[in-house]
Amino acid sequence: MSLVIDSIAKRFASYAALDGVSFHVPQGAFVALLGPSGSGKTTLLRILGGLEFPDSGTVRFADLNWLGVPARDRRAGFVFQHYALFRHMTVAQNIAFGLRVRRWHKRPPRAEINRRVEELLGLVQLDGLGMRYPSQISGGQQQRVALARALAIEPRMLLLDEPFGALDAKVRKELRGWLRSLHERLGITSIFVTHDQEEAFALADLVAVMNKGRIEQYGTPQDVIRAPRTPFVAEFLERAPGAAPLA
Amino acid sequence: MRKPTEDGPIVRGVCVALTIGFVVLFLVMPLLTVFSQALDKGVEAALDALTNPDSLSAIWLTLIVAAIAVPLNLLFGVSAAWAIAKHDFRGKSLLVSLVDLPFSVSPVIAGLIYVLIFGMQGWLGPWLREHDVQIIFALPGLVLATIFVTFPFVARELIPLMTDQGRDEEEAAISLGASGLQTFFRVTLPNIKWGLLYGVLLCNARAMGEFGAVSVVSGHIRGQTNTMPLHVEVLYNDYQFVGAFAVASLLALLAIVTLVLKSLLEWRFADEIAAAHRH
Amino acid sequence: MAAIPSTAFRWREPGVLPGFGLSLGFTVFYLSAIVLIPLAALLIRPWELGWVGFWEAVTAPRVLASLKLSFGGAAIAALVNAVFGLIVAWALVRYRFPFKRLVDALVDLPFALPTAVAGIALSTLYAPNGWLGAPLAAWGLKVAYTPLGVVVALVFIGLPFVVRTLQPVISELGAEAEEAAATLGASRAQTLIRVVFPALAPALLTGTALAFARAVGEYGSVIFIAGNLPMVSEIAPLLIVIKLEQFDYAGAAAIGVVMLAASFLIILALNLVQSLLATRR
């Protein structure tokens, strides 16, 4: 059930967002797409989620032509940068949404849905907050609701767009450790987008450094830090504060 | 000492006095005139004027016209806003400005264009007469003219609102496995419902009160093609002032109810109404 | 090097949200059927008269007089609304006074009140024996059934356009610029004239233009108070109605085309002025 991305290219009106991107994600890996803004990392994530369509290239996932699967049938748990919680639904209704909209013969009974919601609320440590509305909880809590909502559909992969981007530094650190341990527990193939190298190196098994729609280097955090393969990667690692956190 | 950004008491007093004076003179007094003239010969006379068959048929016709025109424009508004706010395509800004076009056309011209097509000497006039289809001087003409003048109300409310709300929630719904219809009814519609109501409210007020456009296509056949505003004109020109103002006060009440509901929506659901941000 | 695939002209960015074809299709169909095709009929119709016939139709003295009244009256009313609309909007945003909420809500009355109702109310109010008409008549000022009556009706329907366009701009103005002016030694009057007014000018212009555009085509609120004397107090939209009643479709369409063209030119000119104002800052 590994994910094979091959020669993905995507042009927008004025520029090439992705310019022949290929890499391979082993099953259960936690991969970071790292790069400056405009490097194409979010576009790639949205293509994997079925929210954008590439001009060329293929994606195979567990022997499926992944690009041929409509977004609603992919079960790719997508966590949006600003969470995209349904503001008129409670936390519990948000989490239950993916189960309630299933075709009737696949839809679990109400009691089962409620049980799953409670279970997920426990998993993301939000017990007792099910009746709140998104506007009534903190940013870190909203982030975990978004994650629980994505997990509710038993996703085949998890796609996280700047998962900590909108949070302050302290909450960010806390959530980071929690997300890593959650990943170890669930073992779902996960890909997240970040522009923060410290975050990428602290969390991911594999890091893909992206620039201008291309992958500059793909490897374990240790490899990337020890042996930057291109001048861009070397420069990018130096530029940001907190470089080489694993040293 | 007053703050440097505050106006002096004289400026302040003059401005407030002018504001209240202007509003009383131009807005309050006409409104009071309507009700006072309607009740000039007593409540009974006013009620009699409202319940005679011609008035009743005018009220009924107004309701029918609005009941057809408003839902159609609602459907259009939602459809246009969905296409414009949730998708990217070329020519979008042209489409947006075309949607607003009917607001810059005189109501009389709005009626005129349909007469030019469907009227006795219109493009399709002879054909329609041969096949015994009546559009002008009949219900379809009234509906068409009303649709034209109320065309942009729902769309111009929804387009900015739905553009502001972005596509994240809809994309999230799809990625969670919702179908297009489920996404619309469970995610989009709840988010725009107050804005939608706001647009429908204004659309309906104009639909029921429109005069110029329907006047051109109506033919003024009493008891048949007179809507309430047209009936007001007929009665007024017949010197039946109590009757004219009685029907007019019914329309004025509709306007007041509309204003109250509108203020209520703007005050209570400011975040969910695009028009409120323009205030 | 992977080649960037060449993308041909693409008029739509593909997205995941469904219903694009259906919603855009219905939108364009409805817009064309209700608005665009009928308006095209208006533009085509007058030419059956030929150039000369068209010219004669729109330059007949009675037509010219009505166009002059419609555009002139609308211009005067728009100016009145610019002045009073500015005062009303300023007072509603900046001051506190009794019944403010009510006044604020009432400003929308001309949007909500059917024009025929406004028409008979204004006409009764300003008639020689009306509440306002009688005292004015005592001063020798006749309003109803004169061009002045036309202006009064047009002021009524135009007011909300100016106020509602200005209000958000005034409330977003913020105190900073005014405070800065004050610390630099400007008097309050200088601050208002040199700092506040220029900031409001584009919105004031827009609101005035909207009021003007609405007033040019206004019919219902005007015809009752105007008296409708040919050459004196007969507005252009009424003349269209009269021509239609005489089955002079081409003549009616000719006036309609001139009205449309003139209002679009004026709005275009105002937009140009406005973009000049905007780039200057």
- Tens-binned pLDDT, residue by residue, of chain B (279 aa): 677 777 888 888 999 999 999 999 999 999 999 999 999 888 988 998 899 999 999 999 999 999 999 999 999 999 999 999 999 998 998 999 899 889 889 999 999 999 999 988 888 888 898 898 888 889 999 999 999 999 999 999 999 999 999 999 999 999 999 999 999 999 999 999 999 999 999 999 999 999 999 999 987 777 788 999 999 999 999 999 999 999 999 999 999 999 999 999 988 888 777 665 554
By CA distance, what is B79's nearest residue in C? Answer: C23
Q: What pLDDT does residue B1 have?
A: 63
A9 to C4: CB separation less than 8 angstroms, yes or no: yes
C197: contact with B, CB 8 A cutoff: no
Distance CA B49, CA B38 (A): 9
Q: What pLDDT does residue A245 have?
A: 45
Residues 6+ apart with CB under 8 A from C62: C230, C231, C234, C239
Task: For chain B, list the contacting chains (3+ Cβ pairs, <8 Å).
Answer: A, C
Sheet containing A30-34: give its strands across: A76-79, A157-161, A190-194, A30-34, A206-211, A214-219
Which pLDDT band, with edges at 50, 70 and 90, does A241 fall under? low
Residues 6+ apart with CB under 8 A from A85: A94, A134, A142, A145, A146, A149, B169, B172
Residues 6+ apart with CB under 8 A from B164: B274
Task: For chain A, list the contacting chains (3+ Cβ pairs, <8 Å).
Answer: B, C
Chain A residues touching residue C18 (CB < 8 angstroms): none
- State the CATH number of the domain containing residue C145: 1.10.3720.10
Which pLDDT band, with edges at 50, 70 and 90, does C10 fall under? low
> Is there a domain that residue C74 lies in?
yes
Read off the pLDDT of each residue in A203-216 and give the average, rounded to a whole number.
94
Chain B residues touching residue A72 (CB < 8 angstroms): 174-179
Chains A, B: CB pairs < 8 Å: 65
Is A8 a residue whose pLDDT tops 70?
yes
Q: What pLDDT does residue C66 have?
A: 95
Choose the mutation target among A72, A79, A133 for the interface with B, i.e. most B CBs under 10 Å.
A72
Distance CA B2, CA A241 (A): 50
Whole domain around residue C236: which residue ranges?
51-280
Chain C residues touching residue B263 (CB < 8 angstroms): 101, 104-105
A101: contact with B, CB 8 A cutoff: yes
- Ordered alpha helix ranges (H), chain B: 9-23, 29-38, 43-51, 53-86, 92-100, 107-118, 125-130, 139-150, 153-165, 168-175, 180-183, 189-209, 212-218, 228-237, 241-268, 274-278
C184: contact with B, CB 8 A cutoff: no
> Is there a domain that residue C20 lies in?
no
B148 to C117: CB separation less than 8 angstroms, yes or no: no
A19 to C4: CB separation less than 8 angstroms, yes or no: yes
Tell me the average pLDDT of chain C.
88
Chain B residues touching residue A71 (CB < 8 angstroms): 171, 174-175
Is A189 a residue whose pLDDT tops 80?
yes
B191: contact with C, CB 8 A cutoff: no
pLDDT tens-digit profile of A156-185? 999 999 988 878 888 888 888 888 988 999
pTM of the model: 0.88
Q: What pLDDT does residue B276 have?
A: 52
CA–CA distance from B35 to each of B57, B242, C220 (Å)?
Answer: 22, 10, 19
> Is there a domain that residue C38 lies in?
no
Q: What is the ipTM of this complex?
A: 0.91
Q: What pLDDT does residue C208 have?
A: 92
> Is there a domain that residue C44 lies in?
no
Tell me the average pLDDT of chain A.
90
Distance CA C209, CA C216 (A): 11
Is C47 a residue whose pLDDT tops 90?
no
Amino acid identity, position A56: S
Backbone φ and ψ for C222, nearest 5 degrees, come out as -90, -40
C4 to A52: CB separation less than 8 angstroms, yes or no: no
Is C114 a residue whose pLDDT tops 80?
yes
Is C9 a residue whose pLDDT tops 60?
no
Q: What pLDDT does residue A240 have?
A: 58
Read off the pLDDT of each residue in C207-221 and give the average, rounded to a whole number.
92
Residues 6+ apart with CB under 8 A from C50: none
A72 to B179: CB separation less than 8 angstroms, yes or no: yes
By CA distance, what is B9's nearest residue in C? Answer: C95
Q: For residue C108, which of B192, B257, B151, A48 has the smallest C-alpha distance?
A: B257
Chain A residues touching residue B181 (CB < 8 angstroms): none
Distance CA B25, CA B27 (A): 6
Q: What pLDDT does residue A244 have?
A: 46
The 8-class DSSP code of residue A241 comes to S
The full 3-state SS of chain C, as one line of letters, equals: CCCCCCCCCCCEECCCCCCHHHHHHHHHHHHHHHHHHHHHHHHHHHHHHHHHHHHHHHHCHHHHHHHHHHHHHHHHHHHHHHHHHHHHHHHHHHCCCCCHHHHHHHCCHHHHCCHHHHHHHHHHHHCCCCCCHHHHHHCCCCCCCCHHHHHHHHHHHHHHHHHHHHHHHHHHCCCHHHHHHHHCCCCHHHHHHHHHHHHHHHHHHHHHHHHHHHHHHCCHHHHHHHCCCCCCCCCHHHHHHHHHHCCCHHHHHHHHHHHHHHHHHHHHHHHHHHHHHHHCC
Choose the mutation target among B72, B73, B75, B113 for the interface with C, i.e. most C CBs under 10 Å.
B113
- A165 contacts A126 by C-beta, under 8 angstroms: no
Q: What pLDDT does residue A111 have?
A: 94
pLDDT tens-digit profile of C219-277? 999 999 998 888 889 999 999 999 988 888 889 999 999 999 988 888 788 778 877 87
- B110 contacts B149 by C-beta, under 8 angstroms: yes
Q: Name A18's bridge partners.
A: A10
> Is there a domain that residue C25 lies in?
no
Is A212 a residue whose pLDDT tops 80?
yes
Q: What pLDDT does residue C3 have?
A: 40
Domain count, chain C: 1
Q: What is the dihedral of CA A48, A49, A50, A56, to 10 degrees?
A: -10
Chain A residues touching residue B187 (CB < 8 angstroms): 86
By CA distance, what is B155's nearest residue in C? Answer: C27
> Is there a domain that residue C254 lies in?
yes
> Is there a domain that residue C27 lies in?
no
Which pLDDT band, with edges at 50, 70 and 90, does C280 fall under? low
Distance CA C38, CA A167 (A): 55
Read off the pLDDT of each residue in A131-137 and give the average, rounded to a whole number.
94
> Is there a domain that residue C145 lies in?
yes
Tokens 């506007």 found at: A135
